[in-house]
Amino acid sequence: MLLALVPGKRDAANCLELIRQVHARTAGRSDLLITSDAHAPYATAIKAVYGVEQPQPRRSGPGRPPKPKRVLPPGLCYATVCKKRKKGRVVEVTRALIFGTVLLLGAYLKRSAVSTTINTSFVERNNGTDRHQNSRKHRKTCGFSKDIVVHHAASYFIGFSYNFCWCVRTLRSPGEEGHWQQRTPAMAAELTDHVWGLWEWITYPARPR
């Protein structure tokens, strides 16, 4: 399931907006394992969005009281994957736990039905699917966008139609008489009971009543 999409450069502002969207679309849950590459603005954004201000004990004597300290919820884990490349090939992978505890990380990985280690394979797989579906992002072609507004619109269209219109092989489930039932991410998340066609997606009201 693609939870959030923010086209543009991976600067601090866009990283913050991305984390805000994830926070909103998971109803503010904090019992999460978040993974990314070692891009520094992600850690800052996670602390800003998920952090809660905690009052600090007042010191004896004159002076201003200490400012509240921003702390993360105890159930949140954030880990990174740093890949070292040589001549275009990955030669080393370093995993690091940034926020949370090792015991909590182990519990979340044990809870997961799809992964047993810290990785970014899911977002990397989605990036590959995105480039496959959106010719504006094909590498070494003349299909690039000439207008940034249209590029953003195409990115949103491809990104969010993926949830409802694109059947993912690893999400299929056993059906009747030995046949597989194809499922989209939205079907796996129980947001719909069928694969949407593009026409249904295009004509669905943006703000249904």
| Same domain for 125 and 37 | no
pLDDT tens, position by position, 148-181: 899 899 999 998 899 999 998 889 888 777 788 8
- Do 105 and 203 reside in the same domain of the chain? no
State yes or no: pLDDT of 61 exceeds 80. no
In-domain check, residue 59: no
Per-residue pLDDT, averaged over 38-46, amounts to 94
Where is 181: in which H helix or E strand? strand 180-181
pLDDT band, very low/low/confident/very high, at 209 (cuts 50, 70, 90): low
Structure-model confidence comparison of residues 56 and 116, the more confident one:
116
User: Do 69 and 54 touch, CB atoms closer than 8 A?
Assistant: yes
Say whether both 34 and 110 belong to one domain: yes
Query: Structure tokens of 154?
Result: 């195409």
**What backbone torsions phi and psi does residue 143 show, to the nearest 5 degrees?**
-95, 15
Q: Are residues 115 and 130 in the same domain?
A: no
Residue 108 shares a structural domain with residue 131:
no
Residue 49 structural domain: 1-54+69-119
- Give the pLDDT confidence score for residue 205 in this predicted structure: 83
- Residue 63 domain-assigned (yes or no): no
Q: How many domains does the structure of the chain reveal?
A: 2
Asked if 41 and 107 sit in the same domain, the reply is yes
Is residue 87 in a domain?
yes
In this structure, is residue 158 part of a structural domain? yes
Q: Are residues 145 and 203 in the same domain?
A: yes
Q: Tens of pLDDT along 106-149?
A: 999 999 888 889 999 888 888 888 888 888 887 777 888 888 89
